[in-house]
A and B are shown apart, each in its own frame.
Chain A
Amino acid sequence: MAAVTTTTPTSVRPVRRRFSFGRAAAWTVMGLIVLITLLPFYWILRTALSTNAGLNADPTNPLPVDLTTSGFERALGMQSAEEAVTQGGAGGGLDFWRYLLNSVLVSTLITGCQLFFSAMAAYAFSRLRWRGRDTVFGLFLAGMMVPAIFTLLPNFVLIKQLHLVDTLLGIALPTMFMTPFAVFFLRQFFMNIPREVEEAALLDGAGKVKIFFRVVLPMASTPIVTLGVLTYITSWNDYFWPLMVSYSDSSRVLTVALAIFRAQTPATGVDWSGLMAATLIAALPMLVLFACFARRIVSSIGFTGIK
């Protein structure tokens, strides 16, 4: 088997074959999967652009009913309370612009710091020699086994004692410095950088710090970008921790705000049009981010999950 492996690259495009029922069936299944994957996104858009009255009158219309942007206006707090109520929304508006800003700030802070500090640690674990290195790294690896829920309650107690409850910093702090996974992931790449590169830089008089910034980081830019986008998505989508830590508008992020928007059901029934507009506002930035980096992420995702 090993002999066979070496002869051909593995990711060869499958040869195009003639029509067969098996292939037709397989393509049908694939089409169905794509449909199930994407239809909910269209349904969000269609609902967000409808009026609540229209949704009630014509629930099966595949197009927006009474095309309007009032759902978005409600979600973004651009309607007066009376106006919102007549449109089927709740009177107490939520300021989604603010939550959007909070989400951006928290995710950017977490991603930026976590990437930088994890890269520094990964460099120390892979390219520097010091006593106790393998022991400390083993400890980090063991940290990967601890499920998130387990540290949440004690971390909340700690954040409370630090008087950081209801602050953006309190939300960011636990994952700002590192995750064991990020360190592990980057270390794998740093280990593969050839020693000759470092030696050449050393001969040229560069110190280890300079080598880290000028040689190692640029060479690992692809895995760093992939890890960065995944970290951004994860922190953007986090709900449990921000829900624990934030109580007021000052630190509320989009995921938490969405759940509150949903809970503010007016007596007349759920404001589906406003809710779907808010959902779209919360989800759109990640879709755009993904669209920018999709190719890189899709091709390196296997590496992120399994060593």
Chain B
Amino acid sequence: MTIASSSPPSRLPTGGAAEARSKPRTGRIEAGEDRGDGRLAALFIAPALLGFVVFLLWPTLRGIYLSFTRYNLLTPAEWVGLDNYVRMVNDPIFWDSLKVTVEYVVINIGIQTVAALAIAVLLQRLTQSAMLRGIVLTPYLMSNVVAGLVWLWILDTQLGIGNEIISAVGVDRIPFLADETWAIPTIALINVWRHVGYTALLLFAGLQAIPNDMYEAARVDGASEWRMFWRITMPLLRPVLAVVLIMTVIGSFQVFDTVAVTTAGGPANATNVLQYYIYGSAFGRFQFGYASAMSVALLLVLSAITILQYRLTRAGRTDLG
């Protein structure tokens, strides 16, 4: 648009794209070749930049500001300094919800990672079937609400098929979602069901980068599948595994939907995860300032975990080069 062109009206080379695909890829445009893209770039970036500033950058700054205020949506925010943070530190429900959230994350991530790794390795070593990969992904297409409702029904104490099977085997029925001890592990497992396939596919993609000859060479040397897993798969997958772990842990900390439709925080706050407590403070009790302070706390926890995980697993370095 801003580039004036002296050549006659355009005519795109037919088949040019296909032909060019086979040529070596060159990446970004070299400096100095295209001047005057500034106005066009501004035009192209404008909508995304608007969205970024209005709905991401500004809310982040505003959230931090709101955490230092008392705000109920109706009257203007009133600056109260560190009051919300002092209240948070002294709020036993906050610490309880943090504890419950951590318990959820540990169970959810622990089981999900092991299961996803097992599925990914089976998909790599046993069969490369695209159909199986598709099947494994289907629960991911469901919303957390749907997943929650389906398992609520399957695990229903009176009529659920899960409990029917348990009692047929001779074990007492378990009130999975109505019992303080069982509720969090049950919710964690429901979310494993929904997310494990997606995580497995991410790991599977990482496994695909490991050259097959390494396994062949190891087999010639008489290595067992078990040994190959520990000596080849795990070391080479480590960087990918680290990235996937950081992503899933961050996602896992934000559990809300499943809790909202299955237990609504109960019984007796046993599943009152942090995000649910934040939601309740904001929309149940209209304490937007306090809810914001807890969001800041969650943000700090997540940042600390990300940095720590990154350091511990040396995610930045890859063994495959």
Contact = CB atoms under 8 A, between A and B. Distances in A.
Interface string B175-214: 0000000000000000001000110011011101111111
Query: Counting chain A CB atoms within 10 Å of each CB, which of B1, B3, B24, B48 scores highest?
Result: B48
Given A30-B126, A128-B40, A143-B52, A255 B11 contact: no
Contacts of B58: 154, 158
B14 to A, nearest CB: 11
A29 interface: yes
Interface in A11-60: 11-14, 22-23, 26-27, 29-30, 33-34, 36-38, 40-41, 43-44, 47, 55-56, 59-60
Given A12-B212, A26-B126, A305-B205, A150 B295 contact: yes
Given A153-B63, A158-B59, A129 B31 contact: yes
Interface stretch (B89-97, B106-114, B145-153): B145-153
A21 to B, nearest CB: 12
B126 A27 contact: yes
Given A13-B128, A146-B60, A151-B59, A276 B153 contact: yes
A193 to B, nearest CB: 8
Contact of A14 (B33, B127, B159, B198): B127
A298 interface: yes
Interface of B: 1-3, 5, 7-13, 16-17, 20-21, 23-29, 31, 33-35, 37-38, 40-42, 44-45, 47-52, 54-60, 62-63, 66, 73, 118-119, 122, 125-128, 130, 132-146, 149-154, 156, 158-161, 164, 168, 193, 197-198, 201-202, 204-206, 208-214, 217, 225, 240, 243-244, 247, 250, 253-254, 256-257, 260-261, 275, 278-279, 282-283, 288, 291-292, 295-296, 298-299, 302-303, 306, 320-321
A129 B35 contact: yes
A43 B150 contact: yes
Interface stretch (A74-82, A91-99, A234-242): A234-242
B20 A205 contact: no
Contacts of B254: 147-149
B141 A302 contact: no
Is chain B's binding surface mostly helix, strand, loop or mixed? helix
A207 B56 contact: no
A147 B302 CA distance: 8
A295 to B, nearest CB: 6
Interface in A132-171: 133, 136, 139-140, 143, 145-158, 160
Contacts of B213: 4, 7-8
A33 to B, nearest CB: 6
Contacts of A29: 118, 122
